[in-house]
Amino acid sequence: MSKKEMKRILVTGAVGQIGSELTIALREKYNNDDVLATGRKTKPSETLLNSGPFEFIDIVNKKSIEKVVKDYDVDTIYNMAAILSAVGEKNPELCWNVNINGLYNIFDIALEYDMTRVFVPSSIAVFGPESPKENTPQETILKPKTMYGVSKVTGELLGDYYFKRFNLDVRGLRYPGIISSETLPGGGTTDYAVEIFYEAIKNKKYSCFVKESTILPMMYMPDCLKASIDLMNVDISKLKHHCDFNLTAMSFSVGELVSEIKKYISEFDCEYKPDFRQDIADSWPRSIDDTAARKEWGWGPDYDLSAVTKDMIKKLRIRFEEGNL
Ligand code: SER
């Protein structure tokens, strides 16, 4: 098999919001046994366990990564393990350790074991109050005010450095908030856009931790999976950027989201109790210019706010009726 083809894929953070669905999508695309899911301590779902291999590792512990890389002959890594923005503000040391030292281990091992490709997600959190808020350009000031943002800027720079200096094929996207119906996000600022659906279905009310007027860029999980896998499969000669692609599907205020949900659940009531996460949200862009991703590898989303709302409510209603929410 040529070096350009992927053989064995390691997904870190596979029990998390994106990792859990990405693992299944990769298993559907490639052989189930060739996609190794790994987590740090949270118990994996039956779906994850029954569809392919699973191991516990800690990316901060280099030896634990090395062991599975050798055992499974890994040649491609999707490094989805990360501490998100809100938890990162409560525990900046942990955030640094996982998002920077852990990532360094991943790059080092990828180089040592001559890997084909590494995927490293970045985030809209790389931007800060000095960046333009509307249609935030690909190239602009990056002065984040959260530890999470600091770690993501560093990750982008480190990835681009490994590409240029060592010829390691590292690719990454600046994810907006990701909305999904399978696994809840853990400890981010955009979590409200997911929790609101769960609470609307379960209790018909939600207490939101950011203001009604808060607008952030968002994306539905199927688009997030499509973007991540497409970027990893595009011919490298097409790419001018590597680890820092701006990416978006839609932008909406919490008020607009509530109105959409009310079309399906008219009694739904949302109250607003902003906490420390309001400041984080206010430091991020309201909308994103993702022209580079569209031009370089043909990115384009399939879901807008009304399509997301319809699908989320349908999927979560089924889970609720099955007693699985
Ligand atoms: N969803 C992330 C967070 O809110 C941003 O990338 O922390």
Mutate to test the pocket of ligand 1, among 95, 122, 173, 190 (most ligand atoms within 8 A of CB): 190
The pLDDT of 100-122, averaged and rounded, is 97
3-class secondary structure per residue, 100-146: HHHHHHHHHHHHHCCCCEEECCEEHHHCCCCCCCCCECCCCCCCCCC
- What is the whole-number distance in angstroms between the Cα of residue 155 and the centre of ligand 1? 15
DSSP assignments along 66-106, one per residue: HHHHHHTT--EEEE-----HHHHHH-HHHHHIIIIIIHHHH
CA of 191 to the centre of ligand 1 (A): 7
What domains are defined for the chain? Answer: 9-177+219-246 (3.40.50.720), 178-218+250-284+302-321 (3.90.25)
Which H helix or E strand runs over 251? strand 250-253
* The pLDDT of residue 186: 86
User: Which residue type, as a one-letter code, is found at position 276?
Assistant: F
Residue 4, pLDDT > 90, answer no
Let me know: does 29 contact 229? Beta carbons within 8 Å: yes
The single residue of 72, 148, 162, 220 carrying the catalytic annotation is 148
**Residue 5 scores a pLDDT above 90:** no
Q: How would residue 1 be classed by pLDDT, with cut points 50, 70 and 90?
A: very low
Quick one: angle between helices 147-166 and 103-112, nearest 10? 20
Residue in 80, 99, 153, 189 to alter for ligand 1 test, most ligand atoms within 8 A of Cβ: 189
Q: What number does the ligand 1 atom closest to the CA of 84 have?
A: 7
Q: Hey, how many other C-beta atoms are within 10 angstroms of the C-beta on 41?
A: 7
Task: Taking residues 124-148, report their average pLDDT.
Answer: 98
Instruction: Give me ligand 1 centre to Cα 112, in Å.
Output: 31
DSSP at 288: B
Q: What is the CA radius of gyration of the chain?
A: 19
Task: State the average pLDDT for the chain.
Answer: 96
Residues 178-214 have pLDDT tens digits of 999 999 998 999 999 999 999 999 999 999 999 999 9
Alpha helix segments (H runs only) across the chain: 17-29, 46-50, 62-71, 85-90, 92-96, 103-112, 147-166, 192-202, 221-233, 254-262, 277-282, 291-297, 305-321
pTM: 0.96
144-161 residue pLDDT tens: 999 999 999 999 999 999
pLDDT for 3 beyond 80: no
Pocket of ligand 1 (CB under 6 A): 84-85, 123-125, 148, 175, 177, 188-190
Arithmetic mean of pLDDT, 256-285: 98
